[in-house]
Amino acid sequence: MNALVLRIVCGLLFAGMVLGVVTHPPQDLTQGLGMMLPATMLLGVALKGPKGRSTIPRKRSPPAPPASGDARQ
């Protein structure tokens, strides 16, 4: 339940930032870039959730083969 509330709040804050940019565009490029960082962080939390884990499980890598060329045989 808390994750859902956090995702909704972050989505609303992102929407508010987008509306703010549309109504009052930034004066220069650096101000616009400075506004993009928090907006992308809010969008990431709104889409992925607070933990940011993917729903698709990753494949585990196979164990490393033993080192060839040992002195002892």
Query: What pLDDT digit, counting tens, does each position of 14-70 carry?
Result: 999 989 888 988 888 888 888 888 898 888 888 888 776 555 666 777 777 776 665
Distance CA 9, CA 2 (A): 11
Is 19 inside any structural domain? yes
Cβ-contact 17, 35 below 8 angstroms: yes
Is 23 inside any structural domain? yes
Distance CA 35, CA 42 (A): 11
Is 26 inside any structural domain? yes
Is 20 inside any structural domain? yes
Distance of CA 10 to the CA centre of its chain: 12
Show the domain range for 26: 2-45
The predicted model scores a pTM of 0.64
Quote the number of domains for the chain.
1
